Amino acid sequence: MTQETANRPATQSDKDVLENYRRIIDISQQLGTTYDLQTLLRKIVVAANELIHTEAAAIILMDDSTGKLRFAMSSNIKPHEMDEMSIPLEGSIAGWIFTHGEPRVIENASADPNHYQGVDDRLSFHTRNLLGVPMKTPQRILGVVQAVNKEDNQRFTDDDISMLRTLASQAAVAIENARLFQQSDFIAELVHELRNPLVALKASTTLLLRPDLPEEKHDDIVETMRFETDRLIGLTDDFLNVARLESGRVQLEIAAFPLYKLLTESVQIIHQHAADKQIDVVIEPNDYVVEADRGKIKQVLINLLSNAAKYNRPGGQIIVAAHAIHDLDSEEDFAQIDVTDTGYGIPREHQKHMFQKFFRVPNTEKLERGTGLGLTICKGIVEAHSGRIWLKSEEGQGSTFSFTLPLII
């Protein structure tokens, strides 16, 4: 650098680049302390849009089970749409970047023979230009970060490439760390949860082998073994559901269907459980047509209704209601479903943990014991539909669990 260059006042462009690198440092610190994979991916996409100034950004990861690239997060693709799309390694720009491990700038996507048109066709989206960089760790390439359609029809610059490469490098390490953290945490909890029913089964078989076991105790022990076996099956089913949701490999079968009929079916399934406690279940008559995976949403409803019965007071009430809302942020319409009970309520300090894996409200074991995964599964299913789920509760007055689904007007 010459003395003249060193003394040159910083231009606005220099200041913008410096500010972007400061932002990269802030983002890197955030990524390094985020261990929820979906939250992490969302932060990376937002950062890519912000730093490169594009209309859209996406993270494309290698799916080791299929050998194909798939969308893991995108600013312009809904979660259930991402589930339906994969990108071949051959004949795609993302595939070229992943295979060669090098960045690539495409200034005219429609004229590039490697531009995979399938995604644009499915989304009715026109890709003008794009910048893609590989997400590398020291050991391997995880996938590709793409920034699509530079704002104001500008061209991608060398600074853009450098910024996105830096972000992708930080993101790759953060993703690997999040995966390892979730895997180790999940396995530890899995072993802990499986141990209790296995210990009970072992004790039961030991008792059954005793020659002095009274005949009247035999049936009780067999019933205990049946209960613990059912509990093991429930645990493994829930573990598999959570693992699929966290890996992004859940396949949604999206279709339009009337919501009221599904609410009625779901209430019927928990009707006997509620009747045993003299709990009255009321469905408000509003009906809407939603677009979702009917089977998965039924799973959410049954879980929320079962909880509403499980933690309700004898002689209480459950109210199921639906109404239409308009989301101002996305400018989209949703159906909001509320499941309200007149139960014991949830202490305020515990409410923020309700959707975390294995969390159970203290002192509820005497009511009924679950796996601690039901609400985690509900959250994953609802968010895969671009909806959200939340709760409102007052201790001693009951709770309302609400979630949203895309609405067809």
Q: Which domains does the chain have, with CATH numbers?
A: 13-179 (3.30.450.40), 251-408 (3.30.565.10)
- Does the structure show a pLDDT above 70 at 26? yes
- Does the structure show a pLDDT above 60 at 130? yes
Cβ–Cβ under 8 Å, residues 105 and 156: yes
Of 22-31, 89-98, 208-217, which range is least confident? Answer: 22-31
The CA distance from 60 to 72, in Å, is 6
Of 93-102, 325-334, 355-364, which range is least confident? Answer: 355-364
Label residue 266 by pLDDT band (50, 70, 90): very high
| Mean pLDDT across 397-404 | 96
- Which 3 state secondary structure label does DSSP give 128? coil
Cβ–Cβ under 8 Å, residues 306 and 274: no
Please report the pLDDT score of residue 337 as a whole number: 97
pTM over 0.75: no
Cβ–Cβ under 8 Å, residues 104 and 93: yes
- Does the structure show a pLDDT above 60 at 246? yes
> Residues 355-380: pLDDT tens digits?
987 787 876 655 556 667 889 899 98
Query: Which of 3-7, 123-127, 391-395 reaches the highest mean pLDDT?
Result: 391-395
- Does the structure show a pLDDT above 60 at 5? no
Residues 6+ apart with CB under 8 A from 153: 128
Query: Which of 15-24, 188-197, 378-387 reaches the highest mean pLDDT?
Result: 378-387
Label residue 25 by pLDDT band (50, 70, 90): confident
- Does the structure show a pLDDT above 50 at 60? yes
- Does the structure show a pLDDT above 80 at 137? yes
The CA distance from 357 to 63, in Å, is 24
Residues 6+ apart with CB under 8 A from 404: 325, 327, 334, 335, 336, 337, 382, 387, 388, 389
Of 44-48, 100-104, 115-119, which range is least confident? Answer: 115-119
Please report the pLDDT score of residue 67 as a whole number: 77
Number of H helices, E strands in the chain: 12, 13
- Does the structure show a pLDDT above 50 at 14? yes
| Mean pLDDT across 89-118 | 87
| Mean pLDDT across 259-269 | 95
Label residue 235 by pLDDT band (50, 70, 90): confident
